[in-house]
């Protein structure tokens, strides 16, 4: 099909990668955007969720916030932000037009899965282990940092990993409001019936998503090496829960 020939041509033409509107610049823009949004969501969500999980309170909210978040289309959220007086389409840092709106929408998108996963992670630490910590005379802080956090880390890490890939994928939606990122290539090609270009953009986004997923998996293994044997099934069942909990593409 000629479309795939066009795609190949677009991908192999160096001029399409360089320059201010080239794919490399857009890719960099989207990467920074993804990481910032994720960090923002982590800074806000992680302490809150871990604290609630440690206290064992607010479970209803912590778990249902993901369900609520899932029902709100990211596109609608982004559209509302862009149309409102604030943040509107104002530029923000390196993110270009509608940068602030995109950043906020993505951070809000990442927040629910991070909160729910981290809360569940701390709550799921076996109660006999917690009791043993109490019995050893640990204070609340000691129990949290020396017992709960290390045991919860694998699930927290898998939640963050899921959020990372999903934020990256969802960031392409910014193009629907003429915002930053690689989504531009997709929508540009699409609206000008240059399908080769559109598909080229889609491929680049998909490949980077895959690379991010692999990198995150490697990082996860570094931060929270999954122990073999008995913890294996716990790990898989929990990450299964995490993925059903966090599943939400833009």
Binding mask 38-67 for other proteins (x = CB under 8 A): -----------------------------x
Among 213, 219, 234, 235, binds other proteins (CB under 8 A): 213
Q: Is residue 234 exposed (0-12), middle (13-18) or buried (19+ Cβ within 10 Å)?
A: middle
For other proteins, which stretch binds (CB under 8 A), given 40-48, 50-58, 121-129, 241-249? 241-249
Contacts of residue 32, Cβ cutoff 8 Å, sequence gap at least 6: 94, 95
| Beta carbon of residue 131, minimum distance to other proteins (angstroms, whole number) | 28
Residues in the chain: 250
Rounded CA-CA distance 30/174 in Å is 10
| Beta carbon of residue 79, minimum distance to other proteins (angstroms, whole number) | 4
Nearest Cα residue to 110 out of 176, 40, 61, 60: 40
Torsion-angle region of 86 (φ positive above 0: left; ψ -120 to 50: alpha; else: beta): beta
Total of residues contacting other proteins (CB under 8 A): 48
Give CA separation, 209 vs 27, 46, 128, 213, in Å.
11, 23, 39, 6
With binding defined as CB under 8 A, does residue 86 bind other proteins? no
| Beta carbon of residue 199, minimum distance to other proteins (angstroms, whole number) | 6
- What sections of 95-148 are H helices per DSSP? 99-123, 127-135, 140-142
Question: What is the residue whose two structure tokens read 């009791």?
Answer: 131
Binding mask 3-32 for other proteins (x = CB under 8 A): x-----------------------------
With binding defined as CB under 8 A, does residue 160 bind other proteins? no
With binding defined as CB under 8 A, does residue 80 bind other proteins? yes
For other proteins, which stretch binds (CB under 8 A), given 20-28, 43-51, 79-87, 227-235? 79-87
Residue ranges binding other proteins (CB under 8 A): 1, 3, 67, 70-77, 79-80, 82-83, 165-166, 168-170, 172-173, 175-177, 183, 186-187, 189-190, 195, 198-199, 201-203, 205-206, 209-210, 213, 240, 243-244, 247-250
């Amino acid at each position: 099909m000629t479309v795939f020939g066009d795609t190949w041509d677009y991908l192999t033409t160096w001029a399409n990668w360089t320059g201010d509107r080239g794919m490399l610049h857009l890719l960099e823009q989207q990467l920074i955007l993804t990481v910032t949004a994720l960090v923002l969501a982590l800074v806000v969500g992680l302490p809150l969720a871990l604290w609630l999980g440690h206290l064992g309170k607010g479970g209803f909210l912590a778990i249902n916030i993901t369900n609520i978040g899932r029902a709100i289309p990211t596109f609608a959220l982004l559209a509302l932000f862009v149309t409102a007086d604030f943040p509107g389409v104002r530029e923000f840092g390196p993110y270009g037009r509608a940068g602030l709106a995109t950043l906020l929408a993505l951070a809000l998108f990442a927040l629910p899965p991070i909160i729910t996963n981290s809360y569940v992670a701390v709550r799921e630490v076996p109660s006999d282990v917690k009791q043993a910590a109490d019995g050893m005379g640990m204070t609340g802080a000691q129990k949290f940092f020396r017992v709960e956090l290390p045991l919860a880390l694998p699930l927290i890490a898998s939640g963050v990993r899921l959020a990372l890939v999903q934020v990256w994928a969802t960031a392409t939606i910014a193009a629907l409001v003429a915002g930053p990122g690689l989504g531009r290539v997709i929508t540009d090609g699409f609206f000008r019936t240059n399908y080769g270009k559109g598909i080229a953009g889609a491929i680049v986004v998909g490949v980077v998503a895959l690379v991010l997923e692999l990198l995150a998996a490697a990082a996860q293994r570094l931060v929270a090496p999954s122990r073999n044997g008995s913890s294996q099934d716990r790990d898989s069942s929990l990450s299964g829960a995490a993925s059903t909990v966090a599943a939400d593409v833009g």
